[in-house]
Amino acid sequence: MNALLGWHTRLGEVGLRLFRLHLLWLGWTLVGGGLLGIFPATAAVYAVVRRDLMGRGEPSRLRAEFGAAWREQFRGANILGYSFLGLWALLLLDRHLVATVDLGSAGQGLAGLFWVLAVFLSCMSAAVWPLAAHFAEGVPKLIVRSAVFVLARPLIAGFNAGAVAVVLCVYNVVPGLVPVFGITVPVYLSFVYLWSTRLLPRP
């Protein structure tokens, strides 16, 4: 009974902290004017979750920790985020061109290739942010590291991206969860899963 009560208490504490993180994510996204705030705010969520899993998070200093992470990662997170947006835009543009031009049997082969690349890029996109929170590296190295991670550990990378996709599907079924938790639940599940695989070395 005590174990069950403790489990519920812990779940409530995590849920409350994720809700507060979501509010901070919204607030600091607006501080950056939206376009320049969303990626640093996302990076800050990962940084805070990582600190929590290490047992170094302080509930009373959540706002200070989040703000410090946002400012510290402002430039790098924007470069990283818009680099991936550029990769997605390039992939979708090429897919559109192939779909609108009659290439015969070659077009079908290219369409299949684009699906493979889309899955690969999805796995990279889901993995690069926890990797960025864990490794103090520049954007080019993080992009390469995420690609190597997907190639070297395809099952783990796939499960990680799948966990994020499942949460997004739940949000689609229950839209009321979006304004409560937003990105914080997929961030938390992704980092907890990757942490449990021990592929992210503990400091």
Tens of pLDDT, residues 126-181? 999 999 998 888 999 999 999 999 999 999 999 999 999 999 899 888 888 888 88
Q: How many residues does the chain have?
A: 203
Ordered DSSP codes for 60-118: GGHHHHHHHHHHHTHHHHHHHHHHHHHHHHHHHHHHHHHHHS--THHHHHHHHHHHHHH
Average pLDDT over all residues of the chain: 86
Q: Report yes or no: 69 and 44 within 8 Å, Cβ to Cβ.
A: yes
- Owner of token pair 């229950």: 174
Tens of pLDDT, residues 65-103? 999 999 999 999 999 999 999 999 998 887 777 767 666
Q: How many CB atoms lie within 10 A of CB 35?
A: 11
Residue 57 has pLDDT above 90, yes or no: no
Q: CA-CA-CA-CA torsion for 161, 163, 164, 166, nearest 10 degrees?
A: 120
pTM (two decimals): 0.88
Query: Poorest-confidence range of 38-42, 145-149, 189-193?
Result: 189-193
Residue 9 has pLDDT above 70, yes or no: no
